[in-house]
A and B are shown apart, each in its own frame.
Chain A
Amino acid sequence: MNDWLCEIREGIEAFVRSVGELTLFFFNIAIYSPRTLVRRPGLVVKQVFNSGAMSMTIILTCGLFVGMVLGLQGFDTLQRFGAEEALGTFATLSLVKELGPVLTALLFSGRAGTALASEIGLMRATDQLAAMEMMAVDPVRRIVIPRFLGGVIAMPFLTAIFNMIAIFGAFLVGVTFMGVDQGAFWSQMHANVTVADVNQGVIKSLVFGIVASLLAVYQGYTSVPTAEGVGRATTRTVVTTAITVLILDYLLTATLIG
């Protein structure tokens, strides 16, 4: 009985400690980020390529099919009310405000986050980070920050691309396959989607970009330096990102809708 309580206490302690560690890690990154961006833009550009351009395949395919499903489901639901002309509004609002930022963050953590975590974790396991410290090179500034910034920069663009291709997917199914009037699809969208709606999605994607990148580099940087440890860091990246993003999504929506 006592052991059991002790274990719970240790679990809670470990959790609180890792939250604190993550916060300090974030401040450390945030302080040196502007300097890295100015002094070593080449490193950041390379990571924008790795996190952003290399995620295009998954973003484009998933975006297209999410849009097509929205077109199909939206049409099926809306035509029961005789409101299938609202399909454009329905698809765009769901995508821009909710599905785009959230799904992109989850896909990003699966594609780019895991890559970052395992890369940094492997550097830790093979003592590359320790070697850098020996040469008086700060691995946080040289390795972690460019990867973090690359993800932060890539995420809003990935989200925008996801949204665009998904709206195209909804258009494809709704207008081409299901016969919704093309003019009504766009004009209803124009009449009901506001710039504030788009901005809401952009704000979300910025926040999710910071969260997903931070958790990925943090999990990699603090991984146990063994093969198993790197594997666990990779898994934890996806799990913690998914949980944090979905909780934050509710909080952000509540704040932004007001």
Chain B
Amino acid sequence: MNLGAKEIMKQTRAVEMGAGLFVLLGFGALFFLITQTTGLSNEIGNTGYTINARFENVGDLKIRAPVTISGVTIGRVTSIAYDPERMNAVVEMMIADQYRQLPDDSEAAILTAGLIGGQYIGLTPGGSETWLEQGSQIEFTQSAVVLENLIGKFLSSVGGGN
């Protein structure tokens, strides 16, 4: 009788161990899926400083689009809004803290990654000795290139040539 109870205890423990291992492995797999297959791991996070820039046309720029300098991602676009008073778009972006030393006369341009890739903001450093700070605005900007406008200009210039 005593042996039987022990045997049952042993079995129960084996089942519990098996179920526990299974659930832990499942959690591990979920963790892997969420952290390793998504872009979560290379996020900038919430520590950084915000700067903004005004553009005539932001084209297809989206929130969370990368902000790069020399091709290196240093931040993300956090908001895109239209300013009805000055009639242009205000783009706010968060730059990671380790990139504090951006000259305040840097230029921001909306560029396209590849032929059909998404749009991003490319910064070109200026020559100033003072840096951009929380809330500063980039003065020199270059709007997104809209393909239709480009083709329109090309066509009218060809027409003008004749």
Contacts and interface: CB of A to CB of B under 8 A. Distances in A.
A194 B33 CA distance: 10
Interface in B17-33: 18-19, 21-23, 25-27, 29-30, 32-33
A164 B32 contact: yes
Contacts of A42: 12
A195 B40 contact: yes
B30 A160 contact: yes
A190 interface: yes
Nearest to A153: B23
Contacts of B157: none
Contact of A164 (B12, B21, B29): B29
From B21, B26, B27, B29, name the one whose CB has the most chain A CB atoms within 10 angstroms.
B26
B38 interface: yes
A219 to B, nearest CB: 24
Contacts of B32: 160, 164
Nearest to B26: A157
B17 to A, nearest CB: 9
A52 B27 contact: no
A160 B22 contact: no
Nearest to A201: B33
Interface string A148-176: 00000110111011011001000000000
Interface string A98-141: 00000000000000000000000000000000000000000000
* Dominant secondary structure at the A interface: helix
B19 A193 contact: no
Interface residues of B, number: 22
Contacts of A194: 38-39
| Band of interface residues on A | 20 to 34
A202 B27 CA distance: 12
Contacts of B16: 45, 49
A164 B25 CA distance: 10
Contacts of B23: 48, 52, 153, 157
Contact of B22 (A46, A154, A191, A195): A154
B39 A164 contact: no
B34 interface: yes
Contacts of A161: 25-26, 29
A245 interface: no
B25 to A, nearest CB: 6
Nearest to A49: B19
B113 to A, nearest CB: 10
A191 B39 contact: yes
B38 A190 contact: yes
A192 B117 CA distance: 11
A46 B19 contact: yes
B29 A198 contact: no
Interface string A49-77: 10011001000000000000000000000
B33 A96 contact: yes
Contact of A202 (B30, B38, B40): B30
From A161, A167, A197, name the one whose CB has the most chain B CB atoms within 10 angstroms.
A161
Contacts of B38: 190, 193-195, 197-198
